[in-house]
Structure 1
């Protein structure tokens, strides 16, 4: 893994620093997905739609995703 720097406003930086490691890891996964070569030349909404399509095809429903994102364990 490599560390990079991304400019964000103070509120976002503070929220990230104060979030737990699981949430930080989830954010890292989202950034990784967004910057993958297959998505590099697409808009954020196109990337999100494509990721949602792939998730749905794999059986990930909005309810399951919400459970995963809200998992505090």
Structure 2
């Protein structure tokens, strides 16, 4: 999907999140990588004081574009 060069990054996640990530398809892993990259880019470009505010804004934008929590849950549950 992305033509940008990728670089490894280590994040500390809880065991459940790691298990879920390891259990999903390569396509869904790539989608999550794009989502996380977008989160960092939006955070860098924002003038917000906290990551929470930025995440809330991203969530609101996603919902305005039709991505509901239920749809996201269904996408993540497809691979379980």
Which residue number corresponds to residue 61 of structure 2? 54
- Identify the residue that residue 32 of structure 1 maps to in structure 2: 37
Could you list the runs of 4 or more consecutive aligned residues of structure 1 that deviate by over 2 angstroms after TM superposition? 4-9, 20-27, 41-44
Measure how far apart 1:39 and its partner are. Answer: 1.5
TM-score of the pair, normalised by structure 2: 0.58
- Compute the RMSD of aligned alpha carbons: 3.0
Query: TM-score, with normalisation over the residues of structure 1?
Result: 0.62
User: Which ranges in structure 1 are unaligned for 5 or more consecutive residues?
Assistant: none
Residue 44 of structure 1 and its aligned partner are, at CA, apart by 2.3
Q: Is the 8 A contact 2:43 2:54 kept in 1?
A: yes
> Helix, strand or coil for the counterpart of 1:34?
helix
